[in-house]
Amino acid sequence: MTLPDPQFNSLGELHHFIDLDGLNREQLTQILDTAEGFAGVNDRTVKKVPLLRGKTVANLFFENSTRTRTAFELAAKRLSADILNVDLVTSSTAKGESLLDTLRVLESLQCDMFIVRHGDSGAAHFIARHVAPSINVINGGDGQHAHPTQGMLDMFTIRRHKGEFQNLCVVIIGDIRHSRVARSDISALVKLGTGEVRVVGPRTLIPAEVEALGVTVYPSIDKALIGADVIMGLRLQKERMQTATVPSSSEFYRTFGLTPERLTLAKPDALVMHPGPTNRGVEIAGSVADGQQSVILEQVTYGIAVRMAVMSIVMGNATSLRRAEA
């Protein structure tokens, strides 16, 4: 028996935000439009709105990630929520307490939302199915499965610069096989109607049957870059590689690195993107990462607005459901 998607409440609205696979184009666009409204908050003297005042958001990071945790923390604070950072890398679960036991303890702290980062694929999904109904869960990245807020901030960055997606050619380069970011980006790009999504990398780092996701596999980075509007570099996920899947970092850079020379093959106004952290001289040249076409730092900035949008939407839907059930 197929279980219902835990992301949605009985009204068909987002209750959790676990991955982008179950969302449609309209729902993705709603997140982007909502983020647009929050993007100006960064420019205010007082960088806060009262939407989540009185709510408590807990960052549950079973895996280290300063960049993502900080972005969620800032997003929660700018929505006027109280934030609780729980270090679970060295805490209870590492000492032998089960994940469900840990959840029950955290639920007793009367939190309203869990931001979950976990090294195992499907962990956020598991937590969403077992958490108390009053708590919203947002996936901050789980294993090789999904990183939905990163996917949405990438879409927001592209839309800000390029407008509509229909006529765009987007190239994703590198470790597609182990990248949760690649999976979320591909899902969003295809649903938003992107003209063409190309992937390129070593054969050992391209998943089998990836074409079924709606992308085209290119054997050569030089061919893949011709006519590109957007170029996304990916970090080599060495911590997720059980065997040596590339000869060396220097060989990867020689064969698939985004260099200034290769960048000229794309359109003159092509965007250069990367989810970070960037490995300069491995997947991207420093001069390209810092160049005029790079929007890597903009991605970080826009990530706050996008996470504010996601948090406000799921929390707002929870309030609407309670009213409907009253």
pLDDT of residue 240: 45
Q: Residue 194: inside a domain, yes or no?
A: yes
Mean pLDDT on 156-170: 97
pTM across the whole model: 0.93
Q: Residue 232 class from Cβ within 10 Å (0-12 exposed, 13-18 middle, 19+ buried)?
A: buried
Long-range contacts of 211-214 (CB under 8 A, 24+ apart): 213/186, 213/187, 214/186, 214/190
Could you tell me if 136 and 195 lie in one domain?
A: no
- Domain of 83: which CATH number? 3.40.50.1370
How would residue 309 be classed by pLDDT, with cut points 50, 70 and 90? very high
Could you tell me if 155 and 277 lie in one domain?
A: yes
Could you tell me if 105 and 166 lie in one domain?
A: no
pLDDT greater than 50 at residue 261: yes
pLDDT greater than 80 at residue 235: yes
Q: Residue 5: inside a domain, yes or no?
A: no
Could you tell me if 121 and 177 lie in one domain?
A: no
Could you tell me if 124 and 208 lie in one domain?
A: no
CA distances from 277 to 19, 76, 102, 273, 296 (A): 22, 23, 30, 11, 10
Please tell me the least confidently modeled range out of 204-208, 232-236, 318-322: 318-322
Query: Domain containing 163: what range?
Result: 148-295
pLDDT of residue 288: 98
pLDDT tens sequence across 276-307: 989 999 999 999 999 999 999 999 999 999 99
How would residue 238 be classed by pLDDT, with cut points 50, 70 and 90? low
Count of domains observed in the chain: 2
Element (H or E) spanning 272, and its range? strand 271-273
**What's the rounded Cα separation, in Å, for the pair 238 and 233?**
15
pLDDT greater than 60 at residue 241: no
Q: Residue 15: inside a domain, yes or no?
A: no
Say how many CA atoms lie within 13 Å of 128 toward its Cβ: 28
pLDDT tens sequence across 63-91: 888 889 999 999 999 999 999 988 776 55
Q: Residue 1: inside a domain, yes or no?
A: no
Could you tell me if 289 and 313 lie in one domain?
A: no
Please tell me the least confidently modeled range out of 16-20, 157-161, 199-203, 241-245: 241-245
Q: Residue 203: inside a domain, yes or no?
A: yes
Mean pLDDT on 179-201: 97
